[in-house]
């Protein structure tokens, strides 16, 4: 299958000497979920931000057959790449609906209405609170809103940075269930950064393991079907966790 996203020899530097990502290469197919796993500071967020256009990087980023490294965030969003950040950067003073509208600033009003309906269908927890201030949502609901806002522009590639961060296990499961539903609904591809290894391994099609800015291992989901294989991958690539 042709790749939707192809990252080749990506390197990210913070300042002249601090290299956070070193020659990372990976491919993402349409409709697939790809995970980047690794300890704190391994470079996962830096890769995601580089693909989303939020920070500069060296190397090649090809999306849908075209090089996109020189494009600003806005153009990447227009082409279908959306980054959902690690911290829940929703606007508390705005309502849930207004936050969703912010995510769909590049689409027509009619499309926006349709997309809001789709997002609220996917996350009924926030549907009943759509006209309330976003600050009133729980942590899990805010995370749902952040993902929903990411879906508003109708992306083909969603870059999700730690969607389960700071959530209770039950809510993590719920967020992951919805991610599974988004995935099965169609052609949307997801790149996921997660600390939650078990659930990530169950959800993802491809997994890349990172250490100190480099990819040190790769597994397909079918290679991690049983618990022994999963534990071996964790031990081999991530050390004891
Ligand atoms: P975490 O799970 O903690 O977010 P991560 O795997 O996503 O970790 P990055 O956030 O990409 O890792 O960080 C990779 C390296 O780059 C780390 O050494 C980090 O300290 C450094 N780094 C990240 N952001 C900056 C920044 N804005 N300025 C300087 N160094 C940074």
pLDDT in tens, 126-135: 999 999 999 9
Ligand 1 atom closest to residue 210's alpha carbon, by position in its atom list: 6
pLDDT above 80: residue 147: yes
pLDDT above 60: residue 76: yes
pLDDT for 241 equals 44
DSSP for 46-100, please give it: HHHHHHHTSS--EEEEEETTEE-TTS-HHHHHHHTEEEE-SS----TTSBHHHHH
Determine the residue of 19, 37, 42, 215 to mutate for testing ligand 1's pocket, defined as the one with the most ligand atoms within 8 A of the Cβ atom: 42
Residue count of the chain = 241
Q: How far, in Å, CA of 66 to CA of 231, rounded?
A: 38
Q: How far, in Å, CA of 147 to CA of 155, rounded?
A: 11
Ligand 1 atom closest to residue 45's alpha carbon, by position in its atom list: 7
Residues at CB less than 6 angstroms from ligand 1: 14, 18, 20, 38, 40-46
Sheet of 157-161, strand order: 81-84, 157-161, 189-193, 33-38, 206-211, 214-220
Residue 134, CB-side half-sphere exposure with 13 Å CA sphere: 23
pLDDT above 70: residue 88: no
Mean pLDDT of 104-130: 91
pLDDT above 80: residue 166: no
| 33: CB partners within 8 A, 6+ apart | 179, 183, 189, 190, 191, 192, 203, 204, 205, 206
Strand duo 33-38 + 58-63: pairing:
unpaired
Q: How far, in Å, CA of 55 to CA of 58, rounded?
A: 10
In which band, very low, low, confident or very high, does the pLDDT at 77 lie, cut at 50, 70 and 90?
Answer: very high
pLDDT for 87 equals 59
pLDDT above 70: residue 82: yes
The string of pLDDT tens digits covering residues 4-32 is 999 999 999 998 789 999 999 999 999 89
pLDDT above 80: residue 115: yes
Strand duo 66-67 + 58-63: pairing:
antiparallel
Which amino acid residue places its CA nearest to atom 2 of ligand 1? 40
In which band, very low, low, confident or very high, does the pLDDT at 86 lie, cut at 50, 70 and 90?
Answer: low
Contact 148, 72 (CB under 8 A): no
Ligand 1 atom closest to residue 18's alpha carbon, by position in its atom list: 30
pLDDT for 42 equals 92
Report the predicted TM-score, pTM, of the whole model to 2 decimal places. Answer: 0.91
Percent of the chain at pLDDT above 70? 97
Plot region of 186 (φ>0 → left; ψ -120 to 50 → alpha; else → beta): left
Phi, psi of 148 (to 5 degrees): -60, -40
Contact 154, 182 (CB under 8 A): no
| 34: CB partners within 8 A, 6+ apart | 26, 28, 189, 190, 191, 192, 204, 205, 206, 207, 208
Tokens of 59: 């190397």
pLDDT for 16 equals 79
Distances (CA, A) of 193 to 80, 135, 146: 19, 25, 15
Phi, psi of 225 (to 5 degrees): -70, -40
């Amino acid at each position: 299958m042709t790749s939707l996203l192809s990252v080749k020899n990506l390197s990210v530097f913070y300042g002249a000497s601090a290299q956070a990502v070193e020659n990372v290469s990976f491919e993402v197919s349409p409709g697939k979920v790809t995970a980047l796993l690794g300890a704190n500071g391994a470079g996962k967020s830096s890769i995601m931000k580089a693909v989303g256009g939020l920070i500069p990087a060296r190397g090649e980023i090809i999306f849908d057959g075209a090089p996109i490294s020189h494009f600003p965030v806005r153009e990447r969003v227009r082409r279908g790449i959306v980054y959902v950040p690690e911290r829940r950067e929703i606007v508390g003073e705005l309502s849930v609906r207004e936050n969703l509208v912010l995510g769909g600033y590049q689409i027509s009003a009619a499309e926006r209405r349709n997309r809001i309906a789709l997002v609220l269908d996917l996350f009924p927890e926030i549907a009943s609170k759509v006209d309330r201030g976003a600050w009133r949502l729980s942590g899990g609901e805010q995370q749902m809103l952040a993902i929903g806002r990411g879906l508003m522009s109708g992306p083909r590639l969603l870059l999700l940075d730690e969607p389960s961060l700071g959530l209770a296990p039950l809510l993590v499961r719920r967020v992951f269930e919805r991610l599974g539903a988004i995935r099965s609904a169609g052609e949307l591809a997801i790149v996921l950064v997660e600390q939650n290894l078990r659930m990530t391994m169950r959800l993802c099609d491809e997994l890349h393991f990172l250490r100190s800015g480099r990819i040190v291992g790769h597994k397909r989901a079918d290679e991690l079907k049983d618990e022994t294989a999963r534990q071996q991958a964790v031990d081999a690539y991530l050390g004891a966790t």
